[in-house]
């Protein structure tokens, strides 16, 4: 079974692409949803976040994402601290999830695959890209932010052209290029590759 990452900058449309792959029968792990679950359910994680960000970090026992986002996206030290706390946990959680799946390949959807180091645990990476102006418009509509806030979040992520160079496959989600043909082509190729023994899977030749 191949372990495949799905990544892209904020507003690129990763979740839309992930849902299409899921509709084709591919198991999908959403790192953002997993991070929320972990921060809500693990006592040690809750304690660390409350100590760092104060009692308003949780409301009625649930993570206050709006409050936390407002804090961390305006302070690089704080977002780096939060990422260092949560990324190792989600990486291990994803590994456990993958071990339970049975499919030619599985997908881990995450915005910061390269930044977190999670990409090194995967066999292939699919990058989702879109023009920055369109990405900004999408996030403004989705999260009710102003353009300067969106651009600040974009600046905190790996530069888009560099991210795409690191990917094995690219999907252009510009609302002009049809998505399904791009996805079906990648799906077919990954299923083909899943039947082939990759070099890393060969056992060392005993001497």
Q: What pTM, to 2 d.p., does this model score?
A: 0.87
Beta bridge partners of 170: 127
Q: What is d(CA 54, CA 37) in angstroms, rounded to the nearest whole number?
A: 19
Structural domain contains residue 142: yes
**What is the secondary structure of 44-64 as a DSSP string?**
HHHHHHHHHH-GGGEETTEE-
Residue 202 domain-assigned (yes or no): no
* CA distances for 73 relative to 106, 135, 157, 172, angstroms: 30, 17, 11, 26
CATH code at position 190: 3.40.50.300
Residue ranges for the chain with pLDDT beneath 50: 199-207
- Token pair 């009710």 is found at 144
> What's the pLDDT at 46?
94
Beta bridge partner(s), residue 172: 129
pLDDT at 203 (0 to 100): 35
Helix 31-41 with 43-53: angle, nearest 10 deg: 90
Domain of residue 44: give its range. Answer: 2-195
pLDDT digits (tens, 9 = 90+) for 10-54: 999 999 999 999 999 999 999 999 999 999 999 999 999 999 999
Q: Has residue 152 been placed in a domain?
A: yes
Q: How far is CA 56 from CA 52, 61, 63, 73, 164, in A?
A: 11, 10, 9, 16, 37
Residue 168 dihedral angles phi and psi, to the nearest 5°: -85, -30
The total number of structural domains in the chain stands at: 1
Angle at CA 142, nearest 5°, toward 153 and 73? 20
Note the helical H segments in the chain: 14-23, 31-41, 43-53, 65-72, 76-99, 113-116, 132-143, 147-155, 160-165, 179-194
Q: What confidence score (pLDDT) does residue 66 get? A: 87
Looking only at the bridges linking them, the beta strands covering 28-30 and 105-109 are parallel
Residue 13 lies in a domain: yes
Q: Say if 145 falls within a structural domain.
A: yes
Q: Which residues pair with 129 in a beta bridge?
A: 172
Q: Report the mean per-residue pLDDT for the chain.
A: 91
Question: Which pLDDT does position 198 carry in this prediction?
Answer: 52
**Residue 41 belongs to a domain:** yes
β-sheet bridge partners, residue 145: none
**pLDDT for the residue 197:** 54
User: Does some domain include residue 207?
Assistant: no
Q: Establish if 23 belongs to a structural domain.
A: yes
**pLDDT tens digit sequence for 113-125:** 998 889 999 999 9
**Res 173: pLDDT:** 97
Q: What's the pLDDT at 156?
A: 81
């Amino acid at each position: 079974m191949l372990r495949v990452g799905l990544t892209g900058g904020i507003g690129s449309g990763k979740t839309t692409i992930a849902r299409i792959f899921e509709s084709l029968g591919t198991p999908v792990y959403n790192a953002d949803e997993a991070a929320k679950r972990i921060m809500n359910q693990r006592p040690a994680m809750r304690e660390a976040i409350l100590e760092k960000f104060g009692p308003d970090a949780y409301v009625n026992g649930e993570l206050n994402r709006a409050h936390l986002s407002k804090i961390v996206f305006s302070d690089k030290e704080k977002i780096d601290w939060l990422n260092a706390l949560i990324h190792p946990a989600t990486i291990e959680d994803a590994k456990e999830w993958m071990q339970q799946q049975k499919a030619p390949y599985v997908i881990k959807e995450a915005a910061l695959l390269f930044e977190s180091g999670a990409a090194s645990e995967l066999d292939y990476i699919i990058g989702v890209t879109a023009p920055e102006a369109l990405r900004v418009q999408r996030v403004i509509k989705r999260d009710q932010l102003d353009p300067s806030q969106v651009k600040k979040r974009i600046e905190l992520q790996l530069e888009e052209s560099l991210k795409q160079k690191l990917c094995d496959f690219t999907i252009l989600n510009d609302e002009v290029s049809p998505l399904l043909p791009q996805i079906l082509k990648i799906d077919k190729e990954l299923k083909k590759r899943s039947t082939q023994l990759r070099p890393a899977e060969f056992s060392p030749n005993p001497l």
